[in-house]
Structure 1
Amino acid sequence: MGNKLVTFTDQQLEDYQDCTFFTRKEILRVFKRFREVRPDLVPKQMRKDDAVNIKIPLEDCIEKLLELRENPFKMRICEVFSRDGKGNLSFEDFLDLLSVFSEQAPRDIKVYYAFCIYDFDSDQHIGPEDIDQALLLLTRNTQELTPEDRQQIVEKVMEEADVDGDGKLSYMEFEHVITRAPDFLSTFHIRI
């Protein structure tokens, strides 16, 4: 009767609730999914620093998480949310990722992280090379688009979205484009 395993303290759960868009029950469900990826690595009961220090390698995340497995941006998503920048995810990284992709996350947070994901070189702008990289991922590096086709698409995107004409998209320009895309919110989420 008194043998119930406690994964997190009440204070930890309260802290996670404060910084995510999840309820306690959802946080525990996220932990269960995190642990299922590498049960040999992740203990059933998290000690104080385990949620930050125990990391699931990128390869395991992109192979074993159904939500990421088919996503062409899976590696970039993991890189953006991992504190190490290499895609290895701690529980807190994983919780942040799923929180941002949850239906409860507000549009402005989703837009910010979408910008980060598309900013492949992390220079705080989305340039022609970033757009080309996104096209390659979206077409899964097939020969669907020739280099000339991709260049034409990149030029058209820049022509339409680069309001100040500096050859790259600022966060504000990206946000303006996204606000005109009604399907954005429906494609930028993961169910837990």
Structure 2
Amino acid sequence: MTSPFAYLYRAAEILAAMSMILILVLVGGGIALRSVGLQLAGSDDLAAYCLVAIFFLALGPTYRQSEHIRVGLLIERIPVDSRRPLELVLTIVAAIGTGWATWWLGRLVYDSYRFGDVAQGLIAIPLWIPQLTMAVGCLVLLVALVEDVVRTLRGHKPSYIEVQQSAGEDHLHFEH
């Protein structure tokens, strides 16, 4: 399945992976320096910011690959021809909630930038920088959700169902 936003999803994945590598470097470097009596100041704060970046930046790509935890207790028990409308409604609700979160995270980033908020840790990092990963990650998830709403309205399967069916998971039938 190709998406016009494939490069956006890939970029988010790469940034999340880079954040994970940075955590390894920060924690590993801190351990190595501690063994010789030195300390990497602020590494715990930076690692925490990277952890937030991993979580948020991976939201959209993870959704697209059908790796989010989905509770199928209801969906799997309703008739196949009723699933499409329910999936559509649930995806629209998810998009609305994600849009709301994206808006407020964007406002948070803007306000932190405008007021010059800085972290309280050992390194005075402007807070808008780590907060920006949260807003961008939610925006990528919003794009993925809206893309699936449009796909479903056009009569196609949502990305997460298409990925599951191409992987051979037959328990989630979705009529085309």
TM-score, normalized by length of structure 2? 0.26
Which of the pair is proportionally richer in helix?
2
Bigger RCO of structures 1 and 2 (CA < 8 A, at least 6 apart): 2
Structure with higher Rg: it is 2
TM-score, normalized by length of structure 1? 0.24
